[in-house]
Amino acid sequence: MVPSAENVTTPESVPQVLVRIHSIVRRRLAGGPGGSPAGINLRGHSQQWFDVAADEVIAEELRACFPDGEMLSEESGLQSLGNGSPRWRFLVDPVDGSDNHSRKLPLSAVSIAVLEAEGPLAPDRVHWAMVGSLDEDCPLTATKNLGCRQGEEAVSVSKVRALGDAFVSCELSHHAPTGRLATVLSRARSVRSYGCASRALALVARGALDAHIDVRDRLTAESFLAAAFLVQEAGGYALDLDGHGFQHLKDLHSTTRIVVAATVELAEEIAKELGEL
């Protein structure tokens, strides 16, 4: 049962709503195209039917539960969920990893971060978050200062401290690893590339990966903010290589470079090795 609008903003009930949204999106996309046209999204990128369909489902569900909110989505931009001044901002990537999903690769996710309406798009400002694979029933959720969970089970990052012991993912789309980045990847125990930031970071939160690197300066908040919050609540660390602490992310056009890692020692080693890219 979905909590009513009067109590959805309690720590206990918000994750329930986000989990339900993940389930509804999965069911909707499993049904195939249903009249939702493709087009161009907020940043001028092409949309596929599932991007639009997922966006519509999420907006409908949030509007029913959070009349004191607004939704900021990669696909539809900023929209009010009710009347009056919004208290909460729902930062949404309806289908992160759209190219993967279009090819039926199991590397795409629904990503939602809940922040206060005013202020920058930074992990430290998130109160609740959910990242759910489109190929798994049970998403990861987190509540500020209460940890990260997958269903009833608490999850945590690994304890790997050294790059030489680490399984590392690195986003390589539109980027060739040269110089310092190539050195970092060559020193890691193993390297993966997923093409979906939220899924890669969720794997760090679960302890399956030890770190994720993206130095392309193409990453925008809707793709990583929820998942970076999951990592932090699971005991990990997120660093902004531009030195802004993510406080410069004011909208979905602002980009950043990140290192997310299970331990502060691993995060600092990677950041030091990358140096001035």
pLDDT, tens digit (0-9, with 9 covering 90-100), for 68-127: 899 999 999 999 998 888 999 999 999 999 999 999 999 999 999 999 999 999 999 999
Which pLDDT score, from 0 to 100, does residue 161 have? 98
pTM of the model: 0.93
Neighbours of 219 (CB within 10 A): 19
Residue whose pair of structure tokens reads 């729902």 in the numeric block: 90
Orientation angle between helical segments 264-274 and 179-187, nearest 10 degrees: 140
Query: Average pLDDT for residues 38-45, to the nearest whole number?
Result: 69
Query: Average pLDDT for residues 261-274, to the nearest whole number?
Result: 96
Q: Report residue 231 as tokens.
A: 């990592």
Which pLDDT score, from 0 to 100, does residue 40 have? 72
Neighbours of 248 (CB within 10 A): 15
Tell me what the pLDDT averaged over the chain comes to.
91
Domain boundaries, the chain: 14-155, 163-274
CATH number of this structure's domain 14-155, picked from the four choices 1.10.3720.10, 2.40.50.100, 3.40.50.2300, 3.30.540.10: 3.30.540.10
Which pLDDT score, from 0 to 100, does residue 10 have? 60
Neighbours of 266 (CB within 10 A): 26
**CA-CA distance, 58 to 73, in Å (whole number)?**
10
The continuous run of DSSP H or E covering 268 comes out as helix 264-274
Give the tens place of pLDDT for each residue, 193-252: 999 999 999 999 999 999 999 999 999 999 999 999 999 999 999 999 988 889 999 999
CATH number of this structure's domain 163-274, picked from the four choices 3.20.20.70, 3.50.50.60, 3.40.50.150, 3.40.190.80: 3.40.190.80
Backbone angles phi, psi at 221, to 5 degrees: -60, -40
- In sign, the C-alpha dihedral spanning 177, 183, 186, 190 is negative
Q: What b/e string do you get for 90-113 counting C-beta neighbours within 10 Å, with b at 16 or more?
A: bbbbbbbbbebbeeeeebbbbbbb
Q: What is the dihedral of CA 126, 157, 139, 104, to 10 degrees?
A: 110
Statement: residue 177 has pLDDT above 70: yes
Statement: residue 188 has pLDDT above 90: yes
Which pLDDT score, from 0 to 100, does residue 263 have? 98
Which pLDDT score, from 0 to 100, does residue 54 have? 96
